[in-house]
Chains A and B, each alone.
Chain A
Amino acid sequence: MGNRIFRAGLAGITVLFVGMLVWAMLSLIFMPRWSEVVDSTLSEEMLYSIRLSLTTSAVSVVVVMILAVSIGYVLARFRFPGHQLLRTVVDLPMAFPELVLGLCLLLLFGHDPLAGWLKKAGIDIVFSKTGIAIAQIFTAAPYATRVVYAAFRSINPRYEMVARSLGCGQWAAFLRVTLPMAKGGLFAGAVIAFARCMGCFGTVLILAGGTRMFTETLPITLYLNISYGNLAMAMTSGILLILISLAAIVTFEALNHEVVL
């Protein structure tokens, strides 16, 4: 009897929560009329926003993966004082709100000395499309780093040692042994990074300003159109974001059985 209550309780909580989650997502998807969704998707603003989201996220993912592989490798292979501290600092942005991260970046890139140097180099970050990518990179990097770090950790360092004993340099051993072995983890990291970049809101809003048809990515389209009281556009951008996340999660799960998190 006790066992039955235990199982029924756990199953009940699971069904209730998952049911409400699915219900919430379906009610967003089925609330607007299909013609509204199609019209909104094909509107100039939405096409602009989709294109901008895809291009900035693609650039950001490349940079994020370079960062994640470097930092993940440093954390997985090198032993040094402050190792734990470094891990905490890298993980930190995951724990605080995106708006806070946005404000930090605004103060970093909008003030001297960095602002002055960037101006001399002709690079505009605050209120620009470059700013969108910077915001996405800082938001997504911790997630990708975590996944890549776990992938490197799961590979026995002995493979590299053997490679080096057979004449490989450290660079060659990394490139020809460790990197191919971590392939699944790297893909999973890139997928998560892409999903975070596409969905990144608060950081982009503060650093890039969220100006309509200029620094407008999909989550900003959602936010702006809520502000305008334009529900069809808002819901359509929401639906597009759900579909993108869904695709990302499915891909991640498909790759993830190779990676031990």
Chain B
Amino acid sequence: MENKIFQTIWLALFLVLTGIPGLAWGGSEPLIIYSGAGLMKPMNELKNGFETRYNIPVQLIYGGSGELFGMIATRKAGDVFIPGAEKYVKDAIKQGLVRAEGQRSVCYHVPIILVPADNPGHIQSLQDLARPGVRVALADAKAAAIGKVANAILKKNDLLEQVAKNVVVRPSTTNQLLIYTATGQVDACIAWEDQATWGQAKGKVDIVRIPSVQNAVKTIPSAVVTFSEQIDKAQLFVDYIASAEGKALWKKWGFPIDKPE
């Protein structure tokens, strides 16, 4: 009798373990969109807009741009890649992870200096970040697009080494930067302009603009993942977020459509 019980268990186990992948779950597979964590606000609305218009379900996966890149490389699945800066799509095309044809740049992404409300560190310019005693947060350059961009801006202005002395924390996502600035743990960070328009940041942070000669404005790209099994629908999504309707949503959340001065 003991034997029989175990036979039943093993049989059940065998059926469950081998049967699952073959089962059809029914319904249409959602489009998997890998989106930079900093694009969360407009992406949530774009998802809703797309779903109502085309009746195609969408699933968003947020993360640092580098993290998403790694995810696509290891999972070899998913449909659309929308990182925080163009460089990631270029690298992905080089590695054969996303398709070069059909890629679009949807809007601009403008780096700014973000300071806590009332600017306790009296930060007026990039040069002020190098002043002794100022507490600066910069994103991790390998993990987040803004980290890489911030380093490039500082390098361009010969401030990289001086500011590095003031950096007290290097978080791996742009949202963590916002938390530390909004709670006054740092005097300044280099972040994206749109973050200051988010609901939870309102009134808690102020923007210090970087003059365009010193700045490095980026575009937000989107491209279809090579491993996508529904390339047409994925392209439809890429086109939708770059359409007039899509662009209005980007604008609403502080992403400029026209190249800023």
Contact = CB atoms under 8 A, between A and B. Distances in A.
The answer on A and B forming one complex is yes
Interface of A: 4, 7-8, 11-12, 15-16, 19, 103, 106-107, 110-111, 126-127, 205-206, 209-212, 214-215, 223-224, 226-231
Contacts of A127: 168-169, 185
A21 to B, nearest CB: 14
B85 to A, nearest CB: 15
Interface of B: 1, 4-5, 8-9, 12-13, 16, 63-64, 66-67, 69-71, 73-74, 140, 142-144, 168-173, 176, 179-180, 183-185
A16 to B, nearest CB: 6
Given A127-B169, A211-B169, A8 B140 contact: no
A16 B170 contact: no
Contacts of B142: 212, 224, 227-228
B168 A209 contact: yes
Most chain A beta carbons < 10 A, residue from B4, B144, B169? B169
Given A4-B1, A19-B13, A210-B171, A227 B66 contact: yes
A81 B137 CA distance: 46
A19 B66 CA distance: 33
A214 B63 CA distance: 22
Contacts of B16: 16
B172 A223 contact: yes
A221 to B, nearest CB: 12
Contact of A212 (B64, B140, B185): B140
A106 B183 contact: yes
A231 B70 contact: yes
A227 B74 contact: no
What are the nearest 5 A-B pairs in CB distance?
A229-B70, A209-B169, A227-B143, A227-B67, A127-B169
B50 to A, nearest CB: 27
Given A11-B9, A110-B185, A210-B176, 19 more contacts: A4-B1, A7-B5, A8-B8, A12-B12, A12-B13, A16-B12, A110-B183, A111-B183, A126-B185, A206-B176, A210-B169, A212-B170, A224-B172, A226-B70, A227-B64, A227-B142, A227-B143, A227-B172, A229-B69
Contacts of A211: 140, 169-171
> A-side binding surface: helix, strand, loop or mixed?
helix
A202 B1 CA distance: 49
Given A127-B169, A212-B140, A229-B66, A8 B5 contact: yes
Nearest to B70: A229
22 contacts: A8-B5, A11-B5, A11-B9, A12-B8, A12-B13, A15-B13, A103-B179, A110-B184, A111-B184, A206-B176, A209-B169, A210-B172, A211-B140, A211-B171, A215-B169, A224-B143, A224-B172, A227-B64, A227-B142, A227-B143, A229-B70, A230-B70
A217 to B, nearest CB: 14
Nearest to A214: B170
A12 B169 contact: no
Contacts of A215: 169
A147 B5 CA distance: 38
B70 A228 contact: yes
A40 to B, nearest CB: 15
A227 B73 CA distance: 13
Contacts of B144: 227
A59 B12 CA distance: 49
A229 B66 CA distance: 6
B67 A8 contact: no
A100 to B, nearest CB: 12
Nearest to A15: B9
A215 B140 CA distance: 13
Contacts of A205: 176
Given A15-B13, A110-B183, A126-B185, A4 B70 contact: no
Nearest to A16: B13
A4 B12 CA distance: 15
